[in-house]
Structure 1
Amino acid sequence: MPFLKTISARVRSAHLLVRTAEEWDELSFELFRAYDGKDDELIEELREPFLMGWRAVARNLLTDTLESAGIRVSGPVHPWGVATLEWDGLRCEPLLCSVDEELPDALEAAAVYGGLNLRTFDEVMAAYEDCLVQLLRP
């Protein structure tokens, strides 16, 4: 699907306009270390800027691109979501962490104190692409 590849490339490049992949990964690693060490003060210091960085790219740099493809962009539902993407009644949300899909509570599913598994930049880009595939597949 050439159209999907074009959108995926724009998603990636929008995030790379803000930070390099290495910088995104470093932020993830530092936040992971704060959770792993149960350092509530550091978690509070790092979590919101981390989430806001990812979400600002979706909101400010990608909305026009995605909406031109017919994909509506809104705020995330999941606490570790980047944005909610919607097309033709289907919804998907790229997440910044791996989750246990079997657990109904979003924070519990992310296992915040039980071992939050934040994704690398490339894994988040893959999550975006998975969402786009789900939304745009014929």
Structure 2
Amino acid sequence: MKTIATVIIIFSLFLIFLVSCGKNKKGVEETTRPEEKGAELTTKEEVVEGESVSESETGYNVEDIGTIERFTPEIFVQVTILYKKESSKWIKESGLLPADEQNRYIERANRLFFSQFGITEQDYLEYSQNNVDELNRFLEEYPELLSQLKGY
């Protein structure tokens, strides 16, 4: 079970690095949502297609988590479940954009996702890297959360 949790965490980190690859070049315009050309992607509602993440789908939503003052394994897993769900949406949405805009769209959605919690992607990554054992113990105690992590 410990190896499965470690693999899940490593996979999540890989997904984050994959999403954040290809940094914006200076002077390049920010990308908007594919279905709303000309509209700026600025609010958390826009990041998640005009709606809050449904609690019935994940068991968690952004409002329940709120601003993160300090990570705990539970909060980290909640954010990870939401992140995996939302990042799969961004990847689908970005597929509707021209190739040169896809990375910028995903990067912007990624930044806005983490900013909803008052953190950066770096904060999220550092917590996972520095607390692997604690996260593994938590996931062993709550295997249903591990199932949710595998579900996306």
TM-score (norm 1): 0.37
Higher normalized strand content (fraction of residues): 1
TM-score (norm 2): 0.35
Highest CA radius of gyration, 1 or 2?
A: 2
Higher normalized helix content (fraction of residues): 2
